Structure 1
Amino acid sequence: MGEPALVRQYKAWLQPGALTGDSNREGFFTRGLVVLDTNVLLSLYEYTSPAREQVLTALERIPDRLWLPHQVGLEFVRGRHRVLENRRSTLRQAPNDVRNKLIAARKSVLDASDSVKRLLVKYAQDTEASAKLDEAFNPSSVDGYLAPWLEALLKPLEKLTSEHDLAPGSVDADDPVLPRIAALYGERVGRQPSAEVLRDRIEYATAFRFPNRIPPGFGDAGKGTPLEAAGDFLLWEEVVQEARLLADPQRYVLFVSADTVKGDWYEPAEPGRGPRPWPMLFDELENRAGAQLRIETPTRFFQGINEYLHADITEATYEEIERAAETLDRPALKADSVPEVTEDTAAQLAPPHGLALDAYHSVGLSSAAVRSAVESPKQAHWTFQWWLIGVTFQLGRRDPVDGEPSVAIKAAIRSSVPPAPHWKPGTVLRSGEWLHRESSWVAPWFIYLLNSTSQVDSVVLQRLAVQQADREAQRDH
């Protein structure tokens, strides 16, 4: 007897990982069509030369199954200079950032010494002890301590800069990546859609899919031109059409992307489950192309090549893959370029460096779990970081920095109806931990955060959410 219709029809929604378990994983690597997102290809310009060679050699184990959508190819050839310029700018600025931080540390040490000296004189008239502190903590002595630290920090930066063998201008004269990628794909490159097909797809995405939040790409609605906003959907549509042409009766499509936990590719977390690829993507590919879908991060993908196809990738290369995946294709936010950050846009905008940590300190948070989420470069944590930035300013816990955008993200609301279907009633939290349990709704990402932190910080975060919800309720009335 086969599976009941209810289980069969909604299989993608019933599985916690949306068909990303390992039971049939090998088939995707040994038989499936492999589609690499633009960010995976651009990452090759981020790696050191040895790591890049290992990754390209690993990809050469599946050349007959690699396929390049036209949209990915276009974004790749246009994005090479930007990636190299971002890296060059970051590495060029890094020594100054290190010096500025040590200058700030120098001032903090001297200020701390002055504070102790004032207390010694004020409460004990102990000028002798104060004088000893003057000898131990004067600008020259502090500089003497900091000098070897500065040298120790700058030396690896110099090595890092020298190991990266590409400069922005070099890709025009001597690009070591583009010829290798071209050879890998051969003629397996998607054709450019006609103007009529392109127009129809863009109109379908912007007029129907995006307003109804059908993945992928709805989070890019309103981004630049309609053509720019529809980029992810144009890529997806090419994948669907190519999957329909696969000759293998068992059609597998393995999609690899560093856009993990982006809200229009990944469903938000819920209690007991982290973010997962949208089940709608799996259903759509099966219904329209009769194909099974698997979505993997670059790290997981290359681990799979290692496991099933016996590539030789070292741990050091895996670390480079992970670092590049966390930062590539997500430029830091220019604070004055965004008038307001919402839950829809937060996962696409990295908060200004250090701002979330300032918010963390302003309310006395202390747990390692919350601090890790606050300092994480991963998109999975950006919504929380923006909420913490916004709520601490809204409640007067800290002063805003110059150009800081307003934030319209709520962790909870008081209402008889949820703001979105995926929000949970306040009753999911234990009695005594949450006010207004019977008349509130809580964001899934916030519940997931509370379940992973200490009791002390959980209470602090809940109080912030309650105060924000109360303020919004009073304003509405």
Structure 2
Amino acid sequence: MRKALEGWYPKTAEELANIWEHALFVPDANILLHCVRHPKAVREELLRLFGVLQPSLWVPYQVALEFHRNRLDVERSGVDAYDQILRDYEKTIRQARDQLRQFRAHPTIDIEREVSALDVQLADFKDRIDAARNAHPEAEIGTVVDRLTELLEDRVGERWPDTELGKIKKEGETRYAAKVPPGYLDAKKDGDEYRKYGDLIIWKDMIEKAKAEKRPIIFISDDVKEDWWWIHKGKKLGPRPELVEEFKRESDQDFHIYEFGNFIRIAAEHHTEIQKDLDAVEQSLRQDSEAKERLSKSESERNRVEQLAGLEDERDELIALLSGAPDRSAPRSPISDRASVRLRLKEIDRQLGLLGDHTSDP
């Protein structure tokens, strides 16, 4: 049964060691972007790692394209961060100042003294941010991009011809509709084929490269979506079983995937020369991952609040329609008969419940 359902059996330590010995290492664009996102010590270690792996390093054209499409945004976000952080800090201090001044008097707190202390704290913070801004390593980051470009010279796959790209798009439509990995979670992406079907293009490239080189592939990516990963109860067990089996079927080679934090730890076991500053690299990667998670949660909460507001507005309009309340603007819903309105109200109530609103319909 193991042979017939190979993807559903996690690789043993011996199998993984054998893959490492013969594999081509394929970093995703989000991994290459770490080289321009992190502090200097971390950037240097990442470039050193890529240098050690260079004989077995290879990237699809799509990965290189996504790196260049996104790197300026990543670089710019580092510059924009100074103003954003300062605005957020000023807002926090202003709120604290306003809260203090709500107390006309207090038996033990010297309100004006504490307000003045907040002003001093804000001034010190501004000085530190300005110093950091003046030390921003813009030229150095440009050099890092040049070094990374040199490392990948002659190690980038070819661009797909338009005719082949059209075939991938057509196949992608079918795969995405059936939720066949990878890439189906990008089905709603706007833009050209290289954006919507980027993961599928990378996947096809890796299969063709493995077939041509007769070598397994280790894909390194911080893309945590379930169309790449086999996730059970929140824990990543490895690549999607369907991916392992398709890769083996199409190329007769093995496929494995790592998040970068795990990859660099294992790489250090194989290459002792990159162990020196490993803890600093892992800490920076972990902080970056945690920041992304917080941002994702913040965006999800904002979307949830917007959906709640929209559903509540529609509910109010439909209730007004049922009650015959005067001077109401036309409801956004085209529903007109009372039975359909009640059904829609019931559905809205269900959706509000799922979004965290526990209020029942009036």
TM-score range (shorter-chain normalised) is 0.7 to 0.9
Say yes or no: does 1:318 pair with 2:285: no
Say yes or no: does 1:150 pair with 2:155: no
C-alpha deviation, 1:160, in angstroms: 4.5
Deviations 1:393-422 (A, max 9, x none): 6898xxxxxxxxxxxxxxxxxxxxxxxxxx
Aligned partner of residue 186 in structure 1, secondary structure: coil
Is the Cα–Cα contact under 8 Å of residues 175 and 184 in structure 2 kept in the other structure? yes
C-alpha deviation, 1:390, in angstroms: 6.9
C-alpha deviation, 1:291, in angstroms: 1.8
Match of 1:221 in 2: 187
- Rounded to whole Å, the distance in 2 between the matches of 1:55 and 1:156 is 28
What stretches of structure 2 of length at least 5 have no aligned partner? 313-351
- Rounded to whole Å, the distance in 2 between the matches of 1:137 and 1:256 is 56
- Rounded to whole Å, the distance in 2 between the matches of 1:274 and 1:465 is 26
Distance 1:8 1:142, change over 3 A: same
Match of 2:228 in 1: 265
C-alpha deviation, 1:315, in angstroms: 2.0
2:107 corresponds, among 117, 132, 148, to: 132
- Rounded to whole Å, the distance in 1 between the matches of 2:128 and 2:259 is 28
Is the Cα–Cα contact under 8 Å of residues 26 and 58 in structure 2 kept in the other structure? yes
TM alignment of 1:68-467, pairs within 5 A: 68-111=59-102, 113=103, 132=107, 136-138=109-111, 140-151=112-123, 153-154=125-126, 157-158=129-130, 160-162=132-134, 164-166=136-138, 175-206=142-173, 208-227=174-193, 228-247=195-214, 251-260=215-224, 262-270=225-233, 273=235, 277-310=239-272, 311=274, 312-325=276-289, 376-377=293-294, 385=301, 389=305
Deviations 1:266-296 (A, max 9, x none): 355438x457542211111111112222211
Is the Cα–Cα contact under 8 Å of residues 26 and 308 in structure 1 kept in the other structure? no
C-alpha deviation, 1:58, in angstroms: 1.6
- Rounded to whole Å, the distance in 2 between the matches of 1:282 and 1:105 is 54
C-alpha deviation, 1:377, in angstroms: 2.4
Distance 1:30 1:246, change over 3 A: same
- Rounded to whole Å, the distance in 2 between the matches of 1:470 and 1:9 is 51
Structural RMSD (CA): 3.4
- Rounded to whole Å, the distance in 2 between the matches of 1:11 and 1:155 is 58
- Rounded to whole Å, the distance in 2 between the matches of 1:50 and 1:213 is 41
Match of 1:9 in 2: 4
What stretches of structure 1 of length at least 5 have no aligned partner? 115-129, 331-375, 397-462
Say yes or no: does 1:47 pair with 2:14: no
Is the Cα–Cα contact under 8 Å of residues 243 and 289 in structure 1 kept in the other structure? yes
Amino acid at match of 1:89: D
Amino acid at match of 1:235: I
Give the TM-score normalised by structure 1. 0.59
Give the TM-score normalised by structure 2. 0.76
Aligned partner of residue 291 in structure 1, secondary structure: coil
Is the Cα–Cα contact under 8 Å of residues 48 and 163 in structure 1 kept in the other structure? no
- Rounded to whole Å, the distance in 1 between the matches of 2:284 and 2:6 is 35
C-alpha deviation, 1:33, in angstroms: 0.6
C-alpha deviation, 1:254, in angstroms: 1.0
Distance 1:159 1:56, change over 3 A: farther
Instruction: State the identity %.
Output: 20
Aligned partner of residue 255 in structure 1, secondary structure: strand
- Rounded to whole Å, the distance in 1 between the matches of 2:115 and 2:213 is 67
